[in-house]
């Protein structure tokens, strides 16, 4: 099954000219990303594969930790780091 992160990464790799110039904005400079794309924290979808794909493509990927147990969130962060060395964000709630 083709996943969204695979489709996005594949399209960018196959068409490198699709995003020819880096977009310099206050957000891209502040976050150290290439494009002002920030992935939303979608429950049950924003996991390590999607976060790594968005970050690899030049945006800011997000791991939606929400109220998941700490060990689950740590494991998602570890897996994201294995896939991509770019910056990503982890959304967690503290109660």
Encode the chain (95 residues) as per-residue pLDDT tens digits: 556 666 667 767 776 665 555 678 899 899 888 889 898 888 778 888 888 888 888 899 888 887 788 888 889 888 888 887 666 777 766 55
Which candidate, 52, 44, 36, places its Cα nearest to that of 88?
52
CA-CA-CA-CA dihedral for 48, 35, 66, 75, to nearest 10: 20
Q: Tell me how far apart the alpha carbons of residues 59 and 31 are, in angstroms, rounded to a whole number.
A: 9
Q: What pLDDT score was predicted for residue 80?
A: 85
Judged by DSSP in three states, 65 sits in strand
> What pLDDT score was predicted for residue 77?
85
Q: Compute the distance between CA of residue 36 and CA of residue 20 in angstroms, rounded to an integer.
A: 14
pTM above 0.85, yes or no: no
Span between the terminal Cα atoms of the chain, in Å:
37
């Amino acid at each position: 099954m083709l996943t969204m992160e695979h489709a996005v990464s594949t399209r960018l790799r196959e068409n490198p000219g699709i995003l020819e110039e880096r977009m310099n904005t206050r957000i891209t400079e502040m976050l150290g990303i290439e494009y002002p794309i920030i992935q939303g924290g979608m429950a049950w979808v924003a996991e390590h594969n999607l976060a790594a794909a968005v970050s690899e493509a030049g945006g800011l990927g997000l791991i939606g930790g929400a109220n998941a147990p700490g060990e689950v969130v740590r494991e998602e962060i570890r897996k994201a780091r294995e896939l991509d060395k770019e910056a990503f964000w982890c959304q967690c709630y503290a109660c």
